[in-house]
A and B are shown apart, each in its own frame.
Chain A
Amino acid sequence: MNLVDDRRPERRREALDLLDRLAASPESLRAERVGLTGAPGSGKSTLLDALTRLLRARGRTVGIVAVDPSSRLSGGALLGDRIRVRSQAGDPGTFFRSMAARDRLGGLADATVAGVEILAAAFDVVLVETVGVGQSESEIAEVADTVVFVAQPGAGDTLQFMKAGLLELPDLFVVNKADLGPVAERTASELEAGLALGARGAAGWQPPVLRVSARDGRGVDALLESLAAHRRHLEKTGELERRRFAGRLAFVRGALLRRYGTRGLEKLGGEAALRARVEAAGRISGHRLVEELGSGIEAAWREGGAR
């Protein structure tokens, strides 16, 4: 995890080699990658902890990546403070890494994406937690097979979420704090109504709305069942492969755009060409692809003589 975070050229080369090896490993394909997103205060961290405990109780190993915001002024960050409960220290079956968002406000730093790859090679389940503000919902889909949206009862964010058209993204909806009773039930009904309106289920999956109380553990096992059901659905329909490809494409595209802008993408031949390049690349890591395609763009620029 330290290696893939390291920007020194020599270490960076080592990291790319490691990521390539992992990308081709069967373990990495097998691991279940679950993203949790939702507004601050929705109880994601508590839910994360409850999920981890239950997974451990069932003998599954769990790697966790949690993203915290960075200060824009100093570049510093406070990490891990949201975690109210922590599984037993010394349990080799869990690993917890905080990631600062760094220059990616609300998004995933490159090191975060790489971190997920590393943990996927070593743990049965990888949980990724982000603070849901805007783009992170869609970015989390780049690394997660299953996206879980955690709603805060009565907070009104659910409505905002629906307005923003983001209902299409999550595979599972969790109304946390179900112990609050009627308020939680109302939020759940709103979500269900909103989902019924949207034309989903093209891939044959109807996102469930689950009532969970991370506080007293109610509904956590049902959440685990739903995660397993979604995984089965992904594997049966071939959607898993499609998603991983789409995630890779989105990551590579995003990284190239940030570095070289739309002009850079044009140098590669535009969106369709990029897609073809990613498809043709086979199972090397997304980070390697970014490097290779990036060098291609730079070379083209040099030949062209001007930017």
Chain B
Amino acid sequence: MPVSHVEDMETLFEGIPLDRMNTSMTINATAAWLLALYIATAERRGIPAAELRGTTQNDIIKEYLSRGTYIFPPEPSMRLISDMVAYTVDAVPHWNPINVCSYHLQEAGATPVQEIAYAMATAVAVLDAVRAREDVADEAMPRIAGRISFFLNSGIRFIEEVCKCRAMAELWDELLRDRYGVADERLRRFRYGVQVNSLGLTEAQPENNQIRIALEALGVTLSKKARCRALQLPAWNEALGLPRPWDQQWSLRIQQILAYETDILEYEDIFDGSHVVEARTREILEEARTELEKVLAMGGAVAAVENAYMKRQLVESHTRRMRAIEAGEITVVGLNAFTETEPSPLIAAGEQAILRVDAEAERAQVERLRAFRARRSAAEVEAALRNLRDVLAAGGNVMPPSIRAAHAGVTTGEWADTLRGLFGEYRAPTGVTVHEHHGTSPAMEAVRKRVRNVSERLGRPLRILVGKPGLDGHSNGAEQVAGAARDAGMEVVYEGIRLTPAEIAHSARDEGVHVIGLSILSGSHGVLVRDVLEELRKLGLGRIPVVVGGIIPEVDAEELRRAGVRRVYTPKDFDLPRILEEIVDVVEESAAVR
């Protein structure tokens, strides 16, 4: 939900006692600001910040690698995080200022080893930055380390997931003891929450997802020593669209059956003494340790974001996975095996089987924001923003001037713009590698031949723009298509995530592309595609054919096709050579070749 200023935050927590709540915020680039709004809301109710409990996700590294909601370059972003850690340790002592996320890494394709290594590298980057600060006493380090928690993923290979969690707990314990000298064993405990894997959920035969989700939950609950502290389960129909309340209830019931009907909570760790689990755990631990050392040797997580090392590794892993699914080496039931199916009564409801977002919501929020801005004191806002700028420019902590700005009625946009002015905006490397993955596949060789043929007729190599308009940072699909299109011999313009429709249209013109592929997973395909088509028409480029991929319900797909989109792809289309072949068809059909 949008939180644009302190009154939005007050509305959000109306009737909820902040001094007795534990609040978790999935917020990253603007985490310092959201915490400031939360503190200001509490102060307005007479609750001191010291009594607040909760968590800000605040892991910027995984944003560059997977989720995409970063704004500033890595270094100033890490400074904001370390400011928050330094501030909360005394002023909001029950706050978890950062929740290191390996969850999103697995969604971006990470293997268990990569998940552990890159999450640990992130935690080390934060702790090293905090330890280097003059305003943080050495004695505070164990307490700070003890407040760092993790957010993990759990995939369908759930035995391996058990081993992964055990290995991760051990590595964390070892890091805190040896690198940071944390003597108290309780402060070295590996505390983590989980959301199980979404990447492996399918659009084809979606009812199977319910079983996948239940099995994935086992991976993080079976082993008592490495059991998660919090668990959230996705809904069976995520790959179709936004889940409804009933779908979410069904997921909750999985947890309740696990906890109240089964006997998993009645035993000590059932894997103690299992040499099989122990051996696999050792193996993962050793490999993760090696990979972590590698990242630390190149300068740590920040350096490995800037030089694209970690992102490239993730894209590589994901590409290998996709190739294996294409080739049938990995079985995904309902997708590439056992695909025959009776009609599903669960999705017979069609349109009613997913949640629709009210288009009115955006307009109403904009109106409320306007009214709020008209009401507040412009002079106070101006002074608070100046103060924020001055303090940050002088190297001061971001929290106090942000809390003041929250009280003054500064908006989220104004806060972020002030920081943009100081730090600049960043575009992270896309990680699409120079490696060729389709080199020997006959399907790809066939596409390559057609690309050469069409290029000849076009007079120059077929150029495609792969664009991700809008705010969602889920770039797996775009990365896979961009890499495969290059392997097919196309010249590919791919500039990463969060482009505006105008930027995409201008890029298409400057770069002289023959076709545009848009990837949208936010559910906003309707508006975004319409805007891109409109911007293209404005530049006189209406003839460039557009194809779209994303989580797009069939009714919407029909609408997009009517608006002029040539092809629509959804998660069930996993065969990249076939998709590329169709893109060549689309170019051939378009006026450009004739």
Chain A interface residues (CB < 8 Å from chain B): 1-2, 5-8, 11, 41, 69-71, 73-81, 83-86, 89-90, 95-98, 100, 102, 111, 215
Contacts of B424 in A (CB 8 A): 85, 215
Q: Which of B458, B495, B503 contacts A81 (CB 8 A)?
A: B495
Query: Are B452's CB and A85's CB within 8 A?
Result: no
* A147–B38 CA distance with the chains assembled, in angstroms: 53
Contacts of B506 in A (CB 8 A): 89-90
Q: Within B485-522, which residues are at the interface with A (CB < 8 Å)?
A: 485-496, 500, 502-503, 505-507, 510-512
Distance in angstroms from A129 CB to nearest chain B CB is: 14
A73 is contacted by which of B439, B452, B492 (Cβ under 8 Å)? B439
List the A residue with the shortest CB-CB distance to B425.
A85
Whole-angstrom distance between the Cβ of B518 and the nearest chain A Cβ: 16
Measured between beta carbons, the chain B residues less than 8 angstroms from A100 are 461, 491
Residues of B within 8 A of A5 (CB): 459-460, 512
The reply to whether A79 and B493 form a contact with Cβ atoms under 8 Å apart is yes
B459 touches A89 (CB 8 A): no
The residue that B489 contacts in the complex, of A76, A86, A95, with Cβ under 8 A, is A76
Do residues B502 and A76 form an inter-chain contact, with CB atoms below 8 A?
no
B residues adjacent to A (C-beta < 8 A)? 73, 307, 424-430, 432, 434, 436, 439, 448, 451-452, 458-461, 482-483, 485-496, 500, 502-503, 505-507, 510-512
Q: Which residue of A lies closest to B512 (CB)?
A: A2
- Do B436 and A81 touch across chains, with their CB atoms under 8 A apart? no
Q: Flag if A95 contacts B490 (CB, 8 Å).
A: no
Chain A hits for B452, CB < 8 A: 75
Q: Contacts A71-B436, A100-B461 hold; do A76 and B490 have CB atoms under 8 A apart? A: yes
Give the residues in chain B near A89, CB-CB below 8 Å. 500, 502-503, 505-507
Given A2-B512, A71-B486, A95-B510, A77 and B495 contact (CB-CB distance below 8 Å): no
B511 engages A80 (CB within 8 Å): yes
Residues of chain A within 8 A (CB-CB) of B426 are 84-85
Contact present for A78 and B492 (CB under 8 Å): yes
- Complex: how many Å from CA A78 to CA B502? 21
- Please name all residues of chain B whose beta carbon is closer than 8 Å to the beta carbon of A78 when the two chains form the complex: 432, 434, 482-483, 486, 492, 494
A11 contacts B459, CB within 8 Å? yes
> In the complex, which residue of chain A has the Cβ closest to the Cβ of B439?
A73
Known contacts A7-B459, A89-B506: does B427 contact A83 (CB below 8 Å)? yes
How far in angstroms is the closest Cβ of chain B from A171? 28
**What is the CA–CA distance of A284 and B500 in the complex, to the nearest angstrom?**
41
Q: Report whether B493 and A74 are in contact in the complex, using a CB–CB cutoff of 8 Å.
A: no
Cβ contact within 8 Å between B510 and A81: no
Contacts of A74 in B (CB 8 A): 436, 439, 448, 486-489
- Give the residues in chain A near B429, CB-CB below 8 Å: 81, 84
Q: How far is the CB of B510 from chain A (nearest CB, A)?
A: 5
The distance in angstroms between the C-alpha atoms of A148 and B491, with both chains bound, is 27
Chain A hits for B502, CB < 8 A: 89-90
**Closest A-chain residue to B75, C-beta based?**
A215
C-alpha gap A86/B510 in the complex (Å)? 13
Among residues of A, the one whose C-beta sits closest to the C-beta of B490 is A76
The answer to whether B495 touches A7 (Cβ under 8 A) is: no
Distance, CA A287 to CA B41, complexed state (A) = 69
Decide if B486 touches A76 in the complex (CB within 8 Å).
Answer: yes
In the complex, the answer to whether A83 meets B488 with C-beta atoms within 8 Å is no
Query: Which of B432, B448, B502, B512 is packed against the most chain A CB atoms within 10 Å?
Result: B512
Could you list some 29 contacts between A and B, CB below 8 A?
A1-B512, A2-B460, A2-B512, A5-B512, A8-B459, A71-B436, A74-B439, A74-B487, A75-B489, A76-B451, A76-B461, A76-B485, A76-B491, A76-B492, A77-B461, A77-B486, A78-B432, A78-B483, A79-B492, A79-B494, A79-B511, A80-B511, A81-B430, A84-B427, A85-B424, A89-B503, A96-B507, A97-B510, A102-B461
Which residue of chain B is the closest to A102 with respect to CB atoms?
A: B461
Q: Give bound CA distance, A54 to B460, whole Å.
A: 34
- In angstroms, Cα B482 to Cα A95, docked, is 23
Chain B proximity of A266: nearest CB distance (Å): 32
Q: Could you say which residues of chain A place their CB within 8 Å of the CB of B492?
A: 76-79
Question: In the bound complex, how far is the Cα of B426 from the Cα of A89, in angstroms?
Answer: 16
Once the chains bind, are A98 and B439 in contact (CB under 8 Å)? no
Which residues of the partner chain B approach A215 to less than 8 Å between Cβ atoms? 73, 424
**Chain A residues with CB under 8 A of B73:** 215
* Nearest opposing residue in chain B for A70, CB measure: B491
Taken together as a complex, chains A and B put the C-alpha atoms of A74 and B73 apart, in Å, by 34
| Bound Cα distance A2, B428 (Å) | 29
Q: What residue in chain A is nearest B432 (Cβ atoms)?
A: A78
Please give, as numbers and ranges, the residues of chain A lying within 8 Å of B485 by CB-CB distance: 76
Closest Cβ–Cβ distance, residue B450 to chain A (whole Å): 13
Bound CA–CA A294/B429 (angstroms): 43
Please name all residues of chain A whose beta carbon is closer than 8 Å to the beta carbon of B507 when the two chains form the complex: 80, 89, 96
- Which residues of chain B come closer than 8 Å to A111, judged between CB atoms? 460
> How far is B464's CA from A76's CA once the two chains are assembled, in angstroms?
11
Cβ-closest chain B residue relative to A81: B430
A27 to B271, CA, bound (A): 77
In the bound assembly, the distance between CA atoms of A175 and B448 in angstroms comes to 42
Q: What residues of A have a CB within 8 angstroms of the CB of B430 in the complex? A: 81
A78 to B465, CA, bound (A): 10
Residues in A neighbouring B458, C-beta threshold 8 A: 6
Task: Give the residue of B425, B459, B461, B511 whose beta carbon is less than 8 angstroms from that of A75.
Answer: B461
Question: Whole-angstrom distance between the alpha carbons of A95 and B510 in the complex?
Answer: 6
Is B434 touching A71 in the complex (CB atoms < 8 A)?
A: yes
Cβ-defined partner of B493 (8 Å) among A41, A80, A84, A85: A80
**Contacting residues, chain A, for B461 (C-beta < 8 A):** 75-77, 100, 102
**Complex contact B495–A83 (CB within 8 A):** yes
The 9 closest A-B CB pairs, nearest first, are A6-B459, A89-B503, A76-B486, A8-B459, A2-B512, A74-B489, A5-B460, A89-B506, A76-B489
A75 to B447, CA, bound (A): 13
In the bound complex, CA of A298 to CA of B461 (Å): 27
CA distance A279 to B428 in the complex (A): 48
Report how far A167 CA is from B483 CA in the complex, Å.
Answer: 37
Cα distance, A95 to B491, chains bound together (Å): 19
Q: Which residues of A contact B428 (CB under 8 A)?
A: 84
Q: Quick one: which of B448, B460, B488 contacts A7, CB cutoff 8 A? A: B460
Identify which of A6, A11, A76, A96 contacts B487 (C-beta below 8 A). A76
**Which residue from B432, B488, B510 sits with its C-beta under 8 Å from A96?**
B510
> Given contacts A7-B459, A78-B482, A98-B511, is CB(A73)–CB(B436) below 8 Å?
yes
> Which of A76, A77, A86, A98 interacts with B427 by CB under 8 Å?
A86
Complex Cα distance, B486 from A69, in Å, reads 11
Contact of B512 among A70, A90, A97 (CB under 8 A): A97
Shortest distance from the beta carbon of A230 to any chain B beta carbon, whole Å:
28
Assuming A75-B452, A76-B487, A96-B507, what are 9 further A-B pairs, CB within 8 angstroms?
A: A2-B512, A78-B432, A78-B483, A80-B511, A89-B503, A89-B507, A90-B502, A96-B511, A100-B491
